[in-house]
Structure 1
Amino acid sequence: MNDHCDAHYHLGGSQPFDGYAVLNGTSPTDWSAVSKHAAETPQVIPAVGLHPWKVHEAAQDWQPQFLQALDEGACAVGEIGLDRQFAKDSFDAQCVAFTWQLEQAAARNLPVSIHCLKASDALLRLLRQTKLPARGIHLHAYSGSAQEVAQLLELGAYFSFHAGQLPPPARKAPDALRLIPLDRLLIESDAPDAMPDGINQADFLLAAYEQAARIREVSLALLTQQVSFNFKRYFLDD
């Protein structure tokens, strides 16, 4: 098995590589498919969560379905989070759903994949008010400021980036990446949504590893080894 682990992708991603990958659900409508795919693919880690974009359309019984999915073998919670950019009308409901799911992850000490757009203030407030998993939290496709990195590190955060965030002339994600300790760094594809046409998931994932190594001024081999260690510690260790 290669060491290019993918910390975050979704159904529809090709996942043709041999490394570990975390497959995230977004609503009760895809949780069964996530679990089925993971059961058929040993290196895939299933995660279930109610995405902030889906909060407004979730059925009233989504919470029992979520707990059932965890009881039946989902190994992580995600994708959950807060979004004022694309779903601001449901923000109060997002906060309630996010906090509840975070509490369930904490009760089971499960990894959690967090989406946050234009809501860093609320995210930090809720993270400080809520019991967190002992293993920490994971900020996927981190888009917050470099200044917020230190505050999130104090809360046990890991951070991941995909290849669409890092090439020049991008500055925000690279600036944050430079401040993140290498032992808190993860890499993701966010396939299929983040990928441009004409590239597969494995190549897009490798591009993120290469870009992160360039930004951190370390060898690709060293960065890959460290990220693989981080991934296994966060997602696979009990």
Structure 2
Amino acid sequence: MLIDSHCHLDRLKLDQYDGDLDRAVQAARDAGVERMLCIGIDMDNAGAVVDIASRYDDVFASVGVHPLEKDKPEPSLEQLVHLASDNHVVAIGETGLDYYYSKDNIPTQQQRFITHLEAARQCSLPVIIHTRDAREDTLALLDEHADQECSGVLHCFTESWDMAKAAMDMNFYISVSGIVTFRNADALRDVVRKMPMDRLLIETDSPYLAPVPHRGKSNEPKYLPDVARFVASLKGVSEETLIQKTAENFFKLFSLAS
């Protein structure tokens, strides 16, 4: 079962589908994608992602506020727990730390991350983590605040093998996006080759980061087979094996989706 573990269906560019999300979802199904996790990024779109998940039996939702979101009210622990009570929600996030694009609000990012980790703990849900150029702080906060039994995933991973291993040692998963197909992604490819199969997920992060051979286009879940095929080749396994194993990992992590 081919599963897109991280996509933003509420942000897809739907021009070629005459604005019809139903057609984009069907295009993903036609490409073999059987499940999709639609990710929340702020309090404003929480309702949208839950609504999308309620419309499609093969779509699930997460709720959370991205670390780069600014100039909006901070989510409270109570708000996150309430949003996560919807039966279409299978995870908290995405949340985390991003020091690459924003270093002027690090304390705010850290407190927001802690709030999400506590919400995940209270709800017994996994957490979806965005991390960039914040290795030490991300790992330190996970070690201190994360519920390692429920664990979570470092999505769209682009960091080092040392960080991946440290996260896996805390029972977290690593998700690989179309970035792995990019010409300048040799370091990431080396990390993926080392990854144990039982900690690996795949995603599109659509509408961003379209994989080769679709670079320059708006990304969609229907392009996930290109990611799966490429990662399988890196791992030296068949595409069918890669798809089966990442599906097993998905349902193990996001148990409510099963």
TM-score (norm 1): 0.91
Paired position in structure 2 for 1:67: 81
User: Which of 41, 50, 74 is equivalent to 1:26?
Assistant: 41
Q: Which runs of 5+ in 1 are unaligned?
A: none
**CA shift digits 1:83-136 (9 cap, x unpaired):** 001122111100001011111112222121100010011001111111325132
Q: Structure 1 residues 40, 203: closer, same or farther in 2, change over 3 A?
A: closer
Structure 1 stretch displaced more, 165-174 or 177-186: 165-174
1:184 aligns with 2:195: no
Alignment RMSD: 1.8
Aligned to 2:72: 58
- The secondary structure found in structure 1 opposite 2:137 is helix
CA distance in 2, matches of 1:148, 1:25: 24
* Among candidates 131, 139, 144, match of residue 159 of structure 2: 144
Distance 1:36 1:48 in 2: 12
Question: Contact 1:159–1:185 at 8 Å: present in 2 too?
Answer: yes
Aligned to 1:123: 138
Q: Residue type of the partner of 1:233?
A: K
Q: Match for 1:160: what amino acid?
A: S
Q: Give the alignment partner of residue 129 of structure 2, picking from 91, 114, 117.
A: 114
Q: Which residue, out of 174, 188, 197, partners 1:159?
A: 174
Q: Which moved more, 1:228-237 or 1:211-220?
A: 228-237
Which among 238, 249, 253 is matched to residue 219 of structure 1?
238
Taking the aligned partners of 1:64 and 1:181, their CA distance within structure 2 comes to 36
After TM superposition, give the deviation of residue 193 of structure 1 in Å: 1.9
**SS at the partner of 1:149?**
helix
Q: Give the Cα–Cα distance (whole angstroms) in 2 for the partners of residues 155 and 61 of structure 1.
A: 26
User: Which amino acid counterpart does residue 65 of structure 1 have in structure 2?
Assistant: Q
Deviation at 1:62, TM superposition (A): 4.7
Give me the whole-angstrom Cα distance separating, in 2, the residues matched to 1:129 and 1:200: 35
Cα offset, 1:199, TM superposition: 6.1
Instruction: Give the one of 3, 7, 14 matched to 1:5.
Output: 3
Aligned counterparts of 1:41 and 1:80: Cα–Cα separation in 2:
24
Name the CA shift for 1:108/1:173 in 2 (closer, same or farther; >3 Å).
same
2:96 aligns to what SS in structure 1? Answer: strand
- Matched with 2:20 is none
What's the CA shift string for 1:139-191, capped at 9, x where partnerless? 00111101222211110111111112334442121111112110110000000
Output the CA distance in 2 between the equivalents of 1:87 and 1:181. 32
Moved more, 200-209 or 172-181: 200-209
Q: Which moved more, 1:61-70 or 1:184-193?
A: 61-70
TM-score by length of 2: 0.85
CA distance in 1, matches of 2:232, 2:50: 33
Is the alpha carbon distance of 1:60 and 1:154 closer, same or farther for their aligned partners in structure 2, counting shifts above 3 Å? Answer: closer
- What is the aligned-residue identity percentage? 26
- Correspondence for 2:111: 96
CA distance in 1 between partners of 2:49 and 2:237 (Å): 35
Q: Structure 1 residues 135, 187: CA separation in 2 closer, same or farther (over 3 Å shift)?
A: same
Size of the alignment, in residue pairs? 235
Greater displacement, 78-87 / 197-206 = 197-206
State whether residues 198 and 249 of structure 2, in contact with CA within 8 Å, keep that contact through their aligned partners in structure 1. yes
1:166–1:173 CA contact under 8 A, matched in 2: no
Query: What is the rounded CA distance, in whole Å, between the counterparts of 1:46 and 1:227 in structure 2?
Result: 18
* Residues in 2 aligned to 1:115 and 1:198: alpha-carbon distance in whole angstroms: 23
**C-alpha distance in 2 between matches for 1:206 and 1:168:** 18
